[in-house]
Amino acid sequence: MSWAFLRDLLSGVNKYSTGIGRIWVAVVFLFRLLVYIVAAENIWKYEHDEFECNIKQPGCENVCFDHFFPVSHIRLWALQLIMVSTPSLLVVFHVAYRKNREKHLSQKLYRSPGEIDGGLLWTYLTSLVLKTAIEIVFLVLFYKLYNGFEVPRLVKCDIRPCPNTVDCFISKPTEKMIFLYFLLGTSCLCIALNLSEFSYLIFK
């Protein structure tokens, strides 16, 4: 069970999407999932080991790391990818339901089960709205948790058992910041694609 599952899920959805929907799938695959797996994961791999505080007091580093990174950037990124892809399942379920009904009643009810009309259109629009909402929620979460998308080089920490205010240094802050901006950029692109697909379907 790994990212291949998400890839298969999204490929399945591709069949029933509009043109813009297919571009969205391609953007998610290439610029988000692939970049996450081949590049971003390795940057955050040793973040705890490389987090260094100017103190020998045992436990201080652990406590400070936990205070500044309640949920690591990379885990939030992974959650975002999974949750943003999930509303597409609604469309897959609806199409399967349609095919099932046609088979059960063994008569042609729909022009073709995959064509976006009537009930399937509402499901599709709902999935678009959910996708956009989830993207925005995660972006706001990132912003609120980390005070923006900047990763500082130095953070000052004075939680027990640290004896006083201690300097703690984050590893690879610039590289992390570049990839976080990349994440922000691709999220905004996906939001724009969803909104344009929504207006295209409404005005069609």
The H or E element containing residue 155 is strand 154-157
Instruction: Please select the residue that binds other proteins; options are 15, 75, 103, 153, rule is CB under 8 A.
Output: 153
**Residues in region 46-75 near other proteins by CB under 8 A:** 46, 50, 52-55
User: Among the candidate windows 26-34, 116-124, 137-145, 196-204, which touches other proteins by CB under 8 A?
Assistant: 26-34
Confirm or reject binding of residue 185 to other proteins (CB under 8 A).
no
Residue 160 CB, shortest distance to other proteins, in Å, is 20
Q: Which residue has the tokens 């509402």?
A: 122
Q: Is 64 exposed, middle or buried (0-12, 13-18, 19+ CB in 10 A)?
A: buried
What does the alpha-carbon distance between residue 37 and residue 27 come to, in Å, rounded to a whole number? 14
User: Among the candidate windows 3-11, 71-79, 83-91, 141-149, which touches other proteins by CB under 8 A?
Assistant: 3-11
> CA-CA distances (angstroms) from residue 92 to 9, 11, 52, 102, 124?
9, 11, 47, 16, 10
List residues near other proteins by CB under 8 A.
Answer: 2-4, 6-7, 19, 22-23, 26, 29-31, 33-35, 37-39, 42-43, 46, 50, 52-55, 153-154, 167-175, 178-179
